[in-house]
């Protein structure tokens, strides 16, 4: 029998198999240990009747609200006694929620704003709907979403909403309607200027948040969000899917053989879109590729920009040079050229598993409470782009990243 957790909320085929797995302690292939071991065993025993009932066909397995009485994730997570009525599990607010417990229940995700194709792409992977099996992501499910509004592409909401709903997602009218329905939230507004207003209400409820790119369009918005998350000890993070491609992961794994990394050129599409200025829209993916390999530490940038291309050169504190080439003409594939002590490596970066890998990182972050990309690096990526945009506006003069923060504070 495959891992039971990989089939939430699907109906179990045989009650006898479920009984056998429970007796052998293989539910989710979890061996209880640590301070919650005893309670975990009690949850398993008291959930036995509910597991058996579900395996025999009880409950509405298509119901998107996992807290509704009679659905399997509620049964396995809540630990109700035999014969009792299943009641909603209380919402889990970070940081009081222990990562030990995440391993025995599905993380309930909410989505705010459906004006990005990511609302569909992410939901399909979490909910195992409309994508190949190798794209499925375990450990979380989108249970509810707010189509919301859009500062840039309001016409796309009506296009994506039916596709999200087809994945078994409950639709709500307002973001605050998600508070009691989810354990964590994905803010997917396509415009970075919308993120601050969307993020803060969830942080104030200590609900962990993933924010789609761009994190923000201004330094002040980014600073307020990060400071609020730190003050409330609540997880907040952001990343582009291109940071987690298989090709970049392979390059990172080869660092011991390649020796020190001296520089990198990252290239890809960088169409300018009104609402997310300069490199903030598509160009951010190319910048994130660069940071995935070089890491933080850039001090200043200079940008040459034409109607068809942006070229940004960054100088790191240790003398390394990173270059971003954002194309708006001809081939706009993603790729890198990496300069190391022992080799110069040209590498195309495939988007094939980028969404899947990002969604896995989302689950990892919400499970551990540790941001896969530290907030300090997220802020520097924004500084890099804002400084690059300013350099382009001023004809290519070098701009210190620190100037972005100082100008925002004046």
Count of the separate structural domains present in the chain: 3
In a domain, 301, yes or no: yes
Q: What percent of the chain has pLDDT over 70?
A: 74
Mean pLDDT of 262-266: 98
In a domain, 97, yes or no: no
Examine the domain organization and report whether 264 and 399 are in the same domain.
Answer: yes
Examine the domain organization and report whether 165 and 289 are in the same domain.
Answer: no
Examine the domain organization and report whether 69 and 114 are in the same domain.
Answer: no
> Tell me, what's the pLDDT at 405?
87
In a domain, 57, yes or no: yes
In a domain, 99, yes or no: no
Examine the domain organization and report whether 59 and 119 are in the same domain.
Answer: no
CATH of the domain at 203: 3.40.50.720
Examine the domain organization and report whether 262 and 137 are in the same domain.
Answer: no
In a domain, 171, yes or no: yes
Examine the domain organization and report whether 46 and 65 are in the same domain.
Answer: yes
Examine the domain organization and report whether 330 and 402 are in the same domain.
Answer: yes
Q: Which of 203, 238, 273 is the last residue of a domain?
A: 238
Examine the domain organization and report whether 79 and 138 are in the same domain.
Answer: no
- For the entire predicted model, the pTM comes to 0.75
Domain containing residue 182:
107-238
In a domain, 94, yes or no: no
In a domain, 162, yes or no: yes
Examine the domain organization and report whether 118 and 208 are in the same domain.
Answer: yes
Examine the domain organization and report whether 26 and 74 are in the same domain.
Answer: yes
Q: What percent of the chain has pLDDT over 90?
A: 73
Mean pLDDT of 109-129: 98
3-state secondary structure the chain: CCCHHHHCCCCCCCHHHHHHHHHCCCHHHCCCCHHHHHHHHHHHHHCHHHHHHHHCCCCCCCCCCCCCCCCHHHHHHHCCCCCCCCCCCCCCCCCCCCHHHHCCCCEEEEEECCCCCHHHHHHHHHCCCCCCHHHCCCCEEEEEEECCCCCCCCHHHHHHHHHHHCCCCEECCCHHHHCCCCCEEEECCCCHHHHHHHHHHHHHCCCCEEECCCCCCCHHHHHHHHHHHHHCCCCEEECCHHHHCHHHHHHHHCHHHHCCEEEEEEEEECCCECCECHHHCCHHHHHHHHHHHHCCCEEEEEEEECCCEEEEEEEECCCCEEEEEEECCCCCCCEEEEEECCCEEEEECCCCCHHHHHHHHHHHHHHHCCCCCCHHHHHHHHHHHHHHHHHHHCCCCCEECHHHHHHHHC
Examine the domain organization and report whether 230 and 113 are in the same domain.
Answer: yes
CATH of the domain at 303: 3.30.360.10
Examine the domain organization and report whether 376 and 255 are in the same domain.
Answer: yes
The per-residue pLDDT for range 6-48, each reduced to its tens digit, is: 333 333 333 333 433 333 333 333 344 443 344 444 444 334 3
> Tell me, what's the pLDDT at 295?
97
In a domain, 12, yes or no: yes
């Amino acid at each position: 029998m495959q891992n039971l957790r990989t089939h939430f909320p699907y109906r179990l085929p045989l009650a006898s198999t479920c009984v056998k797995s429970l007796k052998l302690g293989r539910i989710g292939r979890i061996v209880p240990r640590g301070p919650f071991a005893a309670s975990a065993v009690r949850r398993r025993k008291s959930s036995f009747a509910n597991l058996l009932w579900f395996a025999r066909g009880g409950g509405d397995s298509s119901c998107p609200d996992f807290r509704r009485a009679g659905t399997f994730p509620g049964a396995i997570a809540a630990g109700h006694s035999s014969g009792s009525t299943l009641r909603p599990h209380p919402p889990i607010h970070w940081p009081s929620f222990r990562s030990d417990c995440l391993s025995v229940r599905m993380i309930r995700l909410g989505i705010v704003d459906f004006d990005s194709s990511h609302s569909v792409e992410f939901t399909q992977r979490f909910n195992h709907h409309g994508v190949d099996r190798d794209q499925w992501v375990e450990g979380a499910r989108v249970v509810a979403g707010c189509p919301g509004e859009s500062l840039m592409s309001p016409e796309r909401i009506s296009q994506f909403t039916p596709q999200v709903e087809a994945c078994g997602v409950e639709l709500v009218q307002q973001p605050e309607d998600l508070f009691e329905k989810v354990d964590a939230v994905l803010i997917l507004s396509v415009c970075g200027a919308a993120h601050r207003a969307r993020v803060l209400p969830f942080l104030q409820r200590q609900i962990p948040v993933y924010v789609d790119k761009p994190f923000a369009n201004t330094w002040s918005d980014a600073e307020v969000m990060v400071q609020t998350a730190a003050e409330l000890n609540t997880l907040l993070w952001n990343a582009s899917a291109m940071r987690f491609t298989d090709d970049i992961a392979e390059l990172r794994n080869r660092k011991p053989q390649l020796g020190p990394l001296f520089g990198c050129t990252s290239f890809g599409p960088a169409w300018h879109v009104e609402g997310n200025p300069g490199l903030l829209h598509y160009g951010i993916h190319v910048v994130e590729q660069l940071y995935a390999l070089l890491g933080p530490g850039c001090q200043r940038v200079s940008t040459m920009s034409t109607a068809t291309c942006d070229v940004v050169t960054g100088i790191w504190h240790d003398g390394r040079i990173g270059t971003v080439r954002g194309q708006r003409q001809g081939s706009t594939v993603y790729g890198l050229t990496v300069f190391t002590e022992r080799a110069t490596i040209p590498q195309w970066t495939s988007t094939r598993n980028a969404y899947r890998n990002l969604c896995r990182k989302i689950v990892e972050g919400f499970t551990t409470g540790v941001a896969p990309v530290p907030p300090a690096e997220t802020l520097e990526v924004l500084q890099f782009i804002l400084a690059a945009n300013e350099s382009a506006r001023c004809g290519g003069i070098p701009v210190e990243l620190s100037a972005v923060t100082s100008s925002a504070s004046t």
